[in-house]
Structure 1
Amino acid sequence: MEQAATALSFGGKQLRFKHHSTVLNCEMHFSLFLPPQATAGSVPLLTWLSGLTCTDENFVQKACAQRAAAEYGVAILAPDTSPRGECIADDPDGGWDLGLGAGFYVNATQAPWAEHYQMYDYVLEELPSLVAKEHSVDLSRQGIFGHSMGGHGALSIALKNPSRFRSVSAFAPICAPLHCSWGEKAFSAYLGADRSLWAQYDSCELIRRSTERLPLLVDQGSGDSFLETQLKTPLLASACKDSDYPSTIRMHDGYDHSYFFIASFMDEHIAFHAQHCAG
């Protein structure tokens, strides 16, 4: 890893690194906040997954997460949202919902995407292991959360790997990518035509198949313009109810899809994860 930036924040350090990813076969950047408690010993690790068009820096600059992370003594790892570089495949039509900035946190199986778009393995395996080798983070105390496409990623990764995480939360997640145009476009490109493969990354389907339970928190704004067409939060609520999956799904009147919404409830999400990742 090569350190690209550092700044003090609430007694901790906001860091940015670049490294060569073996899994993605390209150079990547990621951000890491280390709370002041990390100087005295290992701390829980929360992974934040951002949404479409974002990089690792959007969360760092807009989510107002450092104060609560320092208070509760948790580190926050923020990966990029896709592989990057001149040789990396992108949407041939120039769209923003496929390709660069839109990795959807899956392992692509189709050409030309499969060569680099292995974001599931990068987030779950390679990146946290890399960070743990260099910094005082405890991989036995992990939580994961995210926004929009990243909310989809957080939910699907946690639901597929309940033994790896103690908690999961999301802001305005894409709850049912099998049933929205964002998911259909991305999954058909990355995974091919077999919708049974898509279901392996669909949070509602994973809830229905789950035999283990994780603490789950979702916040959604009623003023979100993507709520009905892309996010499908009621489908997640129905899946949880039908499967008797304990969850807290909160609707907030008037809030939209932006980081103003995320920042408004970030402290509560960090407190939620800190509670379950403590000890």
Structure 2
Amino acid sequence: MSAFTTTATIAVFGGKLLKLTHESAALKCRMALNLYVPPSTAVKIPVLFYLAGLTCSGDNGAEKGFLNYWAGKYGMAIVYPDTSPRGSNHPGENESWDFGSAAGFYIDATAAPWSENYKMETYITAELPALLYAAYPTLDSSRVAITGHSMGGHGALSLFLKHPELYKSGSGFAPIANPTQCPWGKKAFAGYLATEAEWPQHDATELLRTYTGGPVDLLVSVGTADEFYTGGQLLVENLAAAAKENGREGEVTIVYAEGYNHSYFYVSSYAETHVTHAARHLGLL
């Protein structure tokens, strides 16, 4: 029996978008997500995880990101998870848009009360994939890539660097690339993590500075009119500087989207860039 309940099946770009729900043991609540299945005859279909940003859910990228079009072209499935546990009712959980509900930052919290169930890293890297690969055996667990937008870009880059055995590629649309040094990241880490010493373990820039694995080929894109880029929240150049410091110059590519802001108009416009990056690493090109 499948762990998932299908609440809707929607035809899109020759494939199907499945709206799913399931019980999460890691997050101790019922979770919703989207799964795009392409029109492919392959026995095994590669998978791209798309992590959404602050205030978002698994619906935003699936419905507004235009990633499904390119995934359908390449024969790639896309998983769109939610951004936090839901309905935990911790004090302060729903008081601000950049912390708590819809703002899980893709880390496992260590500070009470968040440590009870804000375990988004475990959910994204272990629990959810295991359930999906069991329920949908055509998904290829050996060919997986990860991308994301804003907070989700932070999640994609940091999880790729922490779990390189899981992913063939990582990229970020306007990612929070150096969260230990920006207001969003400092607020989240101070709330979710028990000690400041833990912060660098979840920061892509700090992780890359000391990374000892193989070549990473990280792709980052950002709009030049993005108010959060110009306002010092994203700090994407710090990621490239960390690569250079570690002798990995050229392993981070930054694409500047002239005139674009932080919205899904930007994400949908640069979906081809990121899905193609994943497709190349997944052996689809």
- Coarse TM-score class (shorter-chain normalised): over 0.9
Question: Secondary structure, in 3 states, of the residue corresponding to 1:57?
Answer: helix
> What does 1:145-224 align with in structure 2 at a 5 Å threshold?
145-192=147-194, 194-212=195-213, 213-224=215-226
Q: Does 1:143 align with 2:148?
A: no
For 1:1-47, what per-residue CA distance to the aligned partner results, in whole angstroms no more than 9, with x for missing partners?
Answer: 1101110111111011100001111100011000111x541111100
Mapped contact 2:220–2:236 kept (Cα < 8 A): no
TM-score, normalised via structure 1 length: 0.96
Deviation at 1:92, TM superposition (A): 5.5
For 1:91-119, what per-residue CA distance to the aligned partner results, in whole angstroms no more than 9, with x for missing partners?
Answer: 36711110000000000011111111000
Mean CA deviation greater in 120-129 or 246-255? 246-255
Q: Does 1:28 align with 2:28?
A: no
Deviation at 1:215, TM superposition (A): 2.3
Corresponding residue for 2:119? Answer: 118
Residues in 2 aligned to 1:172 and 1:180: alpha-carbon distance in whole angstroms: 14
Mapped contact 2:94–2:101 kept (Cα < 8 A): no
Consecutive aligned runs of 4 or more in structure 1 exceeding 3 Å deviation: none
Residues in 2 aligned to 1:257 and 1:154: alpha-carbon distance in whole angstroms: 17
Residues in 1 aligned to 2:200 and 2:82: alpha-carbon distance in whole angstroms: 24
Q: Does 1:133 align with 2:134?
A: yes
Corresponding residue for 1:19? Answer: 22
Match of 2:259 among 232, 249, 254: 254
Residues in 2 aligned to 1:124 and 1:71: alpha-carbon distance in whole angstroms: 26
> What does 1:55-94 align with in structure 2 at a 5 Å threshold?
55-85=57-87, 87-89=88-90, 91=92, 94=95
Mapped contact 1:166–1:215 kept (Cα < 8 A): no
Residues in 2 aligned to 1:171 and 1:44: alpha-carbon distance in whole angstroms: 20
TM-score, normalised via structure 2 length: 0.94
Corresponding residue for 1:277? Answer: 282
Identity of aligned residues (%): 44
Give 5+ residue unaligned stretches, structure 2: none
Corresponding residue for 1:266? Answer: 271
Mapped contact 1:156–1:203 kept (Cα < 8 A): yes
Corresponding residue for 1:47? Answer: 49
Q: RMSD over aligned Cα, in angstroms?
A: 1.3
Paired amino acid for 1:55: S
For 1:51-85, what per-residue CA distance to the aligned partner results, in whole angstroms no more than 9, with x for missing partners?
Answer: 00001000011101111101101000010000012
Mean CA deviation greater in 209-218 or 24-33? 209-218
For 1:110-166, what per-residue CA distance to the aligned partner results, in whole angstroms no more than 9, with x for missing partners?
Answer: 111111100000000011111111111111101000000000000000001112111
Give 5+ residue unaligned stretches, structure 1: none
Paired amino acid for 1:156: S
Mapped contact 1:89–1:100 kept (Cα < 8 A): no
Mapped contact 2:53–2:152 kept (Cα < 8 A): yes
Residues in 2 aligned to 1:116 and 1:88: alpha-carbon distance in whole angstroms: 11
Question: Secondary structure, in 3 states, of the residue corresponding to 1:260?
Answer: helix
Mean CA deviation greater in 233-242 or 204-213? 233-242
For 1:183-229, what per-residue CA distance to the aligned partner results, in whole angstroms no more than 9, with x for missing partners?
Answer: 1111011002x222010000110001111122210001111111132
